Amino acid sequence: MKQKVIIIGSGFSSLAASCYLAKKGYEVIVLEKNKTIGGRARQLKKDGFIFDIGPTWYWMPDVFERFFNDFDKTPSDYYSLQKLNPAYKVYFGENDSISIADSLEKICEAFEKEEKGSSQKLKKFIAKAEDNYNIAIKDLVYRPGVSPLELVTPKTIKKLGYFLSTIRKDVRKEFNNQKLIQILEFPVLFLGAKPGDTPAFYNFMNYADFGLGTWHPENGMYSVIEGISSLSTELGVTFKTETNVEKIVVDNNKTSGVIANGKKIDADIVLSGADYHHSESLLDTKYRAYSESFWEKKTFAPSSLLFYVGFDKKIENVAHHTLFFDVDFEKHSEAIYDNPSWPEEPLFYASFPSKTDKNVAPDNCEAGIFLIPLAPGIEDNDEIRARYFDIIMNRFEQLTAQKVKNSVIFKESFCVKDFIKDYNSYKGNAYGMANTLLQTAFLRPKLKSKKVKNLYFTGQLTVPGPGVPPSLISGKLVTELIHQQKPI
């Protein structure tokens, strides 16, 4: 008889795990509390506009290829991709912006204009970043974080210096121009920590950025969720939405299933892709491996204030992805990491997918997504949200030299309280636990429960970490552990 696995949640990691487990012959049921699947990568549709609620940057296309290839498929069997040019644009002030094009050659030209001699330095920097990418993304991240020895290979021993230095130090060793420094420090923000707290080894994110480029799936990132869930359904997985798991049942140190919407559902194995802290709260205290003080001490990736805005006209002077780095980065990151509070002058990011994709907004309209990164756990109410909308709209109008406020048809917002309510996110974090040196690989919360047999975890709070590509990898890693172990 088939072993039955219940998966809690339907984010990228859970969906990936569901495919791998079904392929290995398990009976798989996915239980999702929300009305729709996708977790943080859900979709908002309103008045002819389509918005990705969470992720908008499709990076590391090779990881998506590798995922689908594991099922003898390719991403193009499920969605179509376009490489963005420019990949993104960064504003540093009025009439002061740099566009990052779709090839290293063109990016070198842009760098040279800002700092003489920087293009040669950039080529060398990216060559080293590519080398680290090949070690990290093609190999290390596919190890389950069970033992420190996983990180010790002939290749990584040579890279020890990169683990002892930080992105901040390495970038500043080579480049002097503040704008170039900010551009090169930007990709590690995806890992959830400050560049000064992120090991230099993670410069592989710079290769992901300049070497592999930024892509757009037609209709947005939710197409990828739809693609993977189609694959999952083809493999025989069952989905139950609006099914809230209230308890993970444990008898004699072994899980026998869950209680969802008040009813027991039996299973041989339970895998939770919900936030790790919440997943453990579904267990009696004695079965939790990590205490409240463990979570309290961890560096969490930021939360965010997001706005999904329908404009009744086309927006000028912006790219599909546009970053607003016109204020002090250090001060904003202090407000996120050192002294959790609302930033006085926020940096922000804006995405206009309708610049590339005519499906996501009505004709002559623009879909805009605005994101301010924030400290998890800070106060969140309608008045604060409205104030910050005004702050960024004023700056946006000034920097991009146009009026847009009167063209807003509607705006929806999403912030700390929604992350907690919708996803049971710890303190309302947006993208999990940061990848700092002490929160990397075997130092992250484990995929396999230390206290309960046949209970496993996946997702951005465990290995390898935050982001869509790591979540796909997490689903694969946990499946391998489950399969090795076999249920007892």
Ligand X SMILES: Cc1cc2nc3c(=O)[nH]c(=O)nc-3n(C[C@H](O)[C@H](O)[C@H](O)COP(=O)(O)OP(=O)(O)OC[C@H]3O[C@@H](n4cnc5c(N)ncnc54)[C@H](O)[C@@H]3O)c2cc1C
Segment 350 to 409, residues that bind ligand X, using CB under 6 A: 371
A 10 A CB-CB count for 136 gives 22
Number of residues that bind ligand X (CB under 6 A): 37
CB 270 within 8 A of CB 448: no
Q: Which of 5, 6, 9, 205 binds ligand X (CB under 6 A)?
A: 9
Q: What gap in Å lies between CA 282 and CA 35, rounded to an integer?
A: 21
Q: Which of 7, 31, 205, 315 binds ligand X (CB under 6 A)?
A: 31
Q: With respect to ligand X, which residue has the nearer C-beta, 261 or 398?
A: 261
Q: With respect to ligand X, which residue has the nearer C-beta, 175 or 431?
A: 431
Q: Which of 12, 207, 308, 370 binds ligand X (CB under 6 A)?
A: 12
Task: Write down the least CB distance from residue 373 to ligand X, Å.
Answer: 9
CB 31 within 8 A of CB 286: no
Q: With respect to ligand X, which residue has the nearer C-beta, 175 or 307?
A: 307
230 binds ligand X (CB under 6 A): no
423 binds ligand X (CB under 6 A): yes
Q: With respect to ligand X, which residue has the nearer C-beta, 13 or 166?
A: 13
468 binds ligand X (CB under 6 A): yes
Q: What gap in Å lies between CA 89 and CA 86, rounded to an integer?
A: 7
Q: Which amino acid is at 220?
A: G
| DSSP code string of 130-149 | HHHHHHHTTTGGGS-SS-GG
464 binds ligand X (CB under 6 A): no
Residue 438 is classified by DSSP as G
CB 107 within 8 A of CB 101: yes
Q: Which of 6, 19, 20, 33 binds ligand X (CB under 6 A)?
A: 33
Segment 298 to 317, residues that bind ligand X, using CB under 6 A: 304, 306
Task: Write down the least CB distance from residue 81 to ligand X, Å.
Answer: 14
Q: Which of 54, 187, 213, 376 binds ligand X (CB under 6 A)?
A: 54
- Strand order through the sheet with 348-351: 96-100, 88-93, 321-324, 348-351, 366-374, 303-311, 408-414
Q: 3-state DSSP call for residue 195?
A: helix
Task: Write down the least CB distance from residue 415 to ligand X, Å.
Answer: 10
Q: Are strands 4-8 and 269-272 parallel, antiparallel or unpaired?
A: parallel
**Taking contact as CB under 6 A, which single stretch among the options 54-62, 124-132, 202-210, 232-240 is the one that binds ligand X?**
54-62
Binding mask 248-287 for ligand X (x = CB under 6 A): -------------------------xx---x---------
| DSSP code string of 367-378 | EEEEEEEE-TT-
Q: 3-state DSSP call for residue 320?
A: coil
Q: What gap in Å lies between CA 481 and CA 462, rounded to an integer?
A: 14
Q: Which of 19, 151, 378, 430 binds ligand X (CB under 6 A)?
A: 430
| DSSP code string of 69-84 | HTTT--GGGT--EEE-
281 token code pair: 């709260």
Task: Write down the least CB distance from residue 284 to ligand X, Å.
Answer: 16
Q: 3-state DSSP call for residue 259?
A: strand
**Taking contact as CB under 6 A, which single stretch among the options 139-147, 152-160, 175-183, 462-470 is the one that binds ligand X?**
462-470
Q: With respect to ligand X, which residue has the nearer C-beta, 125 or 370?
A: 370
209 binds ligand X (CB under 6 A): no
244 binds ligand X (CB under 6 A): yes
Q: Note the Cα 317 to chain centre separation in Å.
A: 27
Q: Which of 21, 126, 237, 245 binds ligand X (CB under 6 A)?
A: 245
227 binds ligand X (CB under 6 A): no
Q: What gap in Å lies between CA 159 and CA 133, rounded to an integer?
A: 12
Task: Write down the least CB distance from residue 363 to ligand X, Å.
Answer: 27
Q: Which of 23, 24, 27, 34 binds ligand X (CB under 6 A)?
A: 34
Q: Which of 132, 219, 449, 460 binds ligand X (CB under 6 A)?
A: 460
DSSP alpha helix (H) spans, 311-369 = 329-333
Q: Give helix 222-234 / helix 12-23 axis angle, nearest 10°.
A: 20
Q: Which of 457, 4, 8, 446 is nearest to 256 (CA)?
A: 4
Q: Which of 7, 29, 41, 249 binds ligand X (CB under 6 A)?
A: 41
**Taking contact as CB under 6 A, which single stretch among the options 77-85, 117-125, 233-241, 463-471 is the one that binds ligand X?**
463-471
| Residues near ligand X, by CB under 6 A | 8-14, 31-34, 39-41, 54-57, 244-245, 273-274, 278, 304, 306, 371, 423-424, 430-432, 459-460, 466-468, 471
